[in-house]
Amino acid sequence: MKKKALSLALCAAMAASLFVGCGGKEGAATGGESVDTSGELTWRVGGIGPITGGAAQYGQGVMNAIQLAVDEVNEAGGINGYKVSFNFQDDEADQQKSVNAYNTLKDWGMQILEGTVTSGAGQAVSAETYADRMFMLTPSASSTDVTNGHDNVFQVCFSDPNQGAVSADYIADNGLATKVGIIYDSSDPYSSGVYQTFAAEAQAKGLEIVATEAFTADSKTDFTTQLQKCKDAEADLLFLPFYYTEGSIVLTQANQMGYTPTMFGVDGFDGLLGVENFDVKLAEGVYLLTPFAADADDDATKSFVSKYESQFGGTPNQFAADAYDGVYILKAALEAANLTPEASSEEICEALISEIQNVTYDGLTGEGMTWNEKGEVSKAPKAVIIKDGAYASVD
C-alpha cells in the first residue's frame, strides 16, 4: 500500500514536471495578447520567438516592440478601420517548439505571422506557412534558407549574405586587420551562412584568413582550442558570426588566455551586454552589426526608445526595432491592398505578396526600404562598437 502511494506521488510529480514547460508558454501567451473583447472583428497577428532560453533577449525585444506598435496602431484607429489583436508564442529558438507554437497560433485564428525571430526556427516554420499560404514577415531571421523557395516569406532584417559581405568590406575598408581568424557554429544555418559569404568576400577584398575553426551545438562551451589556434596563427581580428550567449564565453576564455584581438561579431552579438552576471568590461571594443542604434538622435528613434524604456524597461535592441518596423510595414501593405479582416489568411497572403513589393517604407532601421520577390529587404547593416558598456555608432 505504501509503495502504491509512493508511486502515485511520483507519477504525479512526473506529470507535473511535464507541464512545467507549458506553464511558461501559457503565461507568455497571455502576456503578449492584446485586447480582443466583445467578439469584435480584428486583424489577428501572431508572433513567434524565444522569450526564454539562449536567445531570449531577441524574442522579448520582438514581443515587446510588436505590442508597442500594435497599441499605437490601435490607438490611431487600426488598419483600414479594424483593430489588431496580437498573440505571441515562445519557441526557445527550437525548431520543433516553433512549429508547435505556429500550430497554436493557427488554432487561435492567426491571419498574418510576424515571426520567427531566429533563423533555425524560421526554416522549419517557413515550410509550414508556405504550405498553408500564410503570410510571414520575419523581423530578424536573416538566413536565406528561410526565404528561399518560399514566396510568402519576407524579411525586415538584412540577410546573411549581406551581413557576411558587409562585414568583410568594413574590415578591409577600415584597415581593422590584416590577418583574420574565424570561429563559427557549423551546426547552425545562420552562423554557417554568414561565414560562407564572409569568407568569399574577404578573399575578394584581399583579407588573409589565417584560421577557420568550427564548433557545434554539442560543444559550444569550450572554445579554448579554437582560440589557441587563432592565436598561434597570429590572427589580429576574430570574426565571430554567432549568438551572444556563446559570444560571452568566447570573450571570457580569450581574456583568461591573455589573447586580445579585435572581436568582430555580426547582429547575433546584439544582447551581449545583457547576459546575466557577464563582466561587460570584457566586451569593450567589440564590433557588431546592426541597422539600428538606440543612441541615434532622429525623432522616430527617440520616441520609440523612450516609449519602450518607460513601458518595458531596458534599452531596445535592433530586433525590437526590426519588429516595430514590421508592424508598420504590414499596415502599409494591408492598406495598399485595401483588405478587411474578413478575408481569409490565404487571400491576405496572396494580396500581401504582391503589395509588399510596391511598398517603400521609412522606419527605425532604414530609409526607403523596399522588398524584392525573393523576400529580401534593400537595406545595409551598419557597424557599431561597444564603448563604456554601451553600443555606440562608429562612423
Partner 1 sequence: MGFLTYLINGLSLGSVYAIIALGYTMVYGIAKMLNFAHGDVIMIGAYVVFMCMSNSGMPAVVSIVISIVCCTALGMIIEKIAYKPLRKATNLAVLITAIGVSYFLQNMALMIFGSNPVSFTSVIKWQGIALAGGALKITGNAIITIITCVVIMIVLMWFVKNTKPGQAMRAVSEDKDAAILMGINVNATISLTFAIGSGLAAIAGALLCSSYPSLTPYTGSMPGIKAFTAAVFGGIGSIPGALIGGLLLGIIEILAKAYISSQLADAIVFAVLIIVLLVKPTGILGKQIKEKV
Sites for partner 1 among residues 205-234 (CB under 8 A):
213-216, 218-219, 221-222, 224-226, 228-229, 232
Cβ–Cβ < 8 Å for 34, 70: yes
Identify which range of 14-22, 116-124, 193-201, 290-298 contacts partner 1 by CB under 8 A.
14-22
> Can residue 1 be called a binding residue for partner 1 (CB under 8 A)?
no
Q: Which residue of 75, 107, 173, 276 would you call a contact of partner 1, by CB under 8 A?
A: 276
Q: How far is the CB of 195 from partner 1 (least distance, A)?
A: 12
> Can residue 313 be called a binding residue for partner 1 (CB under 8 A)?
no
Identify which range of 41-49, 277-285, 299-307, 369-377 contacts partner 1 by CB under 8 A.
277-285
| CA separation for the pair 103, 105 (Å, rounded) | 5
Q: How many residues lie near partner 1 (CB under 8 A)?
A: 45
Sites for partner 1 among residues 117-156 (CB under 8 A):
none
Mapping DSSP to helix (H, G, I), strand (E, B) and coil, where does residue 199 land?
helix
Number of neighbouring beta carbons within 10 Å of residue 279: 11
Number of neighbouring beta carbons within 10 Å of residue 128: 16
**What's at 153, amino acid-wise?**
V
Give Cβ neighbours of residue 153 (< 8 Å, ≥ 6 apart). 122, 126, 129, 130, 136, 137, 138, 146, 147, 375
Identify which range of 16-24, 30-38, 68-76, 133-141 contacts partner 1 by CB under 8 A.
16-24
| CA separation for the pair 285, 384 (Å, rounded) | 10
Distances (CA, A) of 101 to 2, 28, 201: 41, 11, 37
Q: Which residue of 1, 5, 18, 76 would you call a contact of partner 1, by CB under 8 A?
A: 18
Binding mask 158-177 for partner 1 (x = CB under 8 A): --------------------
Distances (CA, A) of 280 to 185, 252, 271, 386: 23, 10, 11, 9
- Contact residues for partner 1, defined by CB under 8 A: 3, 6-7, 10, 13-14, 17-18, 20-21, 23, 52-54, 56, 92, 186, 213-216, 218-219, 221-222, 224-226, 228-229, 232, 245-246, 248-249, 252-253, 256-258, 275-279
